[in-house]
Chains A and B, each alone.
Chain A
Amino acid sequence: GNSVTQMEGPVTLSEEAFLTINCTYTATGYPSLFWYVQYPGEGLQLLLKATKADDKGSNKGFEATYRKETTSFHLEKGSVQVSDSAVYFCALRSSGAGSYQLTFGKGTKLSVIP
């Protein structure tokens, strides 16, 4: 079955530090990959996505590249801000027709301190 593994948190960084959150996946076919973010007290929001190999998703300074050869979709940001403090979820959707079932990783909590 499909699965997503992301680095355990929590991660604590100082403002302007470089961020990497690792994500690897197991899936059949050619899944689409996503990063969702959950701010305190809120629901998940789509941060970025990539639908095929070598695609790079980007949004709000965050980037992730779909690497089929390493089955990875690591999230990066060059300079984090306090407002980036949240829980980040890596997710995949299998290829093929059907419902939009997302398989999520367990989440990585990021805390950015001034």
Chain B
Amino acid sequence: DSGVTQTPKHLITATGQRVTLRCSPRSGDLSVYWYQQSLDQGLQFLIQYYNGEERAKGNILERFSAQQFPDLHSELNLSSLELGDSALYFCASSPGVGGNEKLFFGSGTQLSVL
């Protein structure tokens, strides 16, 4: 158990809808990262938050947004969903802002857009 909790584990929704994925980092970790894993693209970095502030942005679509709350949990919001958004979304956390810290990954949220 990595200590990173993601909910829900599975989500099935329709095109055009909006969903929210939730992540609770390991106790004491200040950074949260979101990754998207799909068969064709592999693992893609989406966004990082550190202590409530956006730290870095990767290949995140404008239809997607995220935030980190004062209790350090994070939410990834996906709107106007398309079939191609179906993927496994991982959250990871680390103690600090970067460097060669080890990332701890949650088990992921499997999103299916029908």
Chain A residues at the B interface, C-beta cutoff of 8 Å = 32, 41-46, 49, 51, 89, 93, 97-107
CB neighbours (8 Å) of B107 from chain A are 41-43
Q: In angstroms, how far is the closest chain A Cβ from the Cβ of B52?
A: 15
Q: Known: A44-B90, A45-B2. Contact between A100 and B103, CB under 8 A?
A: yes
Main secondary structure on chain A at its contact with chain B? loop
Dominant SS among interface residues on chain B: strand
Would you call A43 and B97 a contact (CB within 8 A)?
no
Contacts of A49 in B (CB 8 A): 100
Q: Looking at the complex, which one of A32, A45, A100, A107 makes contact with B43 (CB distance below 8 Å)?
A: A107
CA distance A32 to B104 in the complex (A): 17
Q: Name B residues whose Cβ lies closer than 8 Å to a Cβ of A.
A: 2, 4, 31, 33, 42-43, 45, 48, 50, 55-56, 58, 90, 92, 94, 97-108
Residues in A whose Cβ lies below 8 Å from that of B99: 100
> What is the count of residue pairs linking A and B with beta-carbon distances less than 8 angstroms?
59
Supplied contacts A43-B4, A97-B98, A102-B45, 9 more A-B pairs, CB within 8 Å: A32-B100, A44-B43, A45-B105, A89-B43, A98-B56, A100-B99, A101-B56, A103-B45, A104-B43
**A7-B105 Cα distance, complex, nearest whole Å:** 23
What's the nearest-Cβ distance from chain A to residue B37, in Å?
A: 8
The residues of B that contact A41 with a CB separation of less than 8 Å are: 107
The residue among A41, A44, A46, A89 with the most chain B CB atoms within 10 A of its own CB is: A44
